[in-house]
Copies of this chain bind each other. A is one copy, B any other.
Amino acid sequence: MPSPTEQRGKLRVAIVDSDSSFLTVLGKRLEAAGWEYRVVAAGMPTEELVAMKVSALLIDPETLGPRSWEFLELVAGALPDLGVIVCSSKSTVAQRVRGLRLGADDWINKPCHPEEVIARIESVVRRRRRSAPESEAGPMVVGEVEIRGDRFQAFVAGQSVGLTRREYELLVLLAASPGKVIEREDIYHQVWGYAMAHGDRSVDVFIRKVRLKLQKYSPGWSYIHTHFGIGYRFDPECVGGDEPRANAETEVAGTSRLQTERLGESLEAGATTD
């Protein structure tokens, strides 16, 4: 549900193999199946795989040489959602076990029938059966904001909050599980699509942007709450100067509530640590 990378029957696959005859035969089948595929070089960095938005990666360890294990581990670690299928000409039980443990989702031995390769890739990728794609069951309303999936945008009183694509996805992810604390790493993984590098502050920055925009159009409300050392939680709370004391759920003792009011043209921010 996070990534809008929805597709029906067709998938996108990246292949690392140098056996031309195998590629030819498999290529024909893949095209017949209506899939998009691309044979990529051995040293393909993970970022490119993300950019290609492939659902699966087919690897022949012989093409990669001795760095296969390393590469396999790297890819599996960085792109947990990417299906990784190894297809080798010959292998021992030990190798297969090692490959699978390192993160491969399947291991096939050549010679193999292309139809089986396709079936196995499908099997590996199948899990992403999301409900009706963008047909989101009506807009969801939380607090004063209304999130409309058909517009990839949030609104307050019918007015667009002006979220960018990433900001919108971040908000949707959080708002999809109100009250649940979501870890930074999970947020990054779900919104950005790959593992978060140590020290990356992107999530924080985006959280701030979303807060800023929500607060601009819906002051007096607090939507995203910080959980120190963990992540964030979405929970619309009316907190403006209205209710003298309405909030009952005291999350943590000694909560410092501080609002930075500024409007030198920039927006105003408000962060609370629960």
Contact = CB atoms under 8 A, between A and B. Distances in A.
A12 interface: no
Contacts of A250: 159-160
Given A128-B131, A159-B250, A162-B253, 13 more contacts: A93-B113, A100-B123, A101-B122, A124-B127, A127-B132, A150-B179, A151-B179, A151-B180, A151-B181, A152-B181, A153-B181, A158-B249, A160-B249
Interface stretch (A19-27, A59-67, A225-233, A256-264): A225-233
Nearest to A112: B93
A71 B61 CA distance: 36
**Majority SS at the chain A contact face:** loop
Contact of A251 (B113, B130, B160, B230): B160
Nearest to A151: B181
A134 to B, nearest CB: 9
A245 to B, nearest CB: 16
A252 B122 contact: no
A252 B163 CA distance: 8
Contacts of A251: 153, 160, 162
B227 A152 contact: yes
Q: Considering the complex of A and B, which 10 residue pairs feature the smallest CB-CB distances, nearest first?
A: A127-B131, A165-B229, A100-B119, A162-B252, A93-B113, A97-B119, A100-B123, A160-B251, A150-B180, A162-B253
A100 B122 contact: yes
Given A151-B181, A181-B151, A229-B165, A123 B106 contact: yes
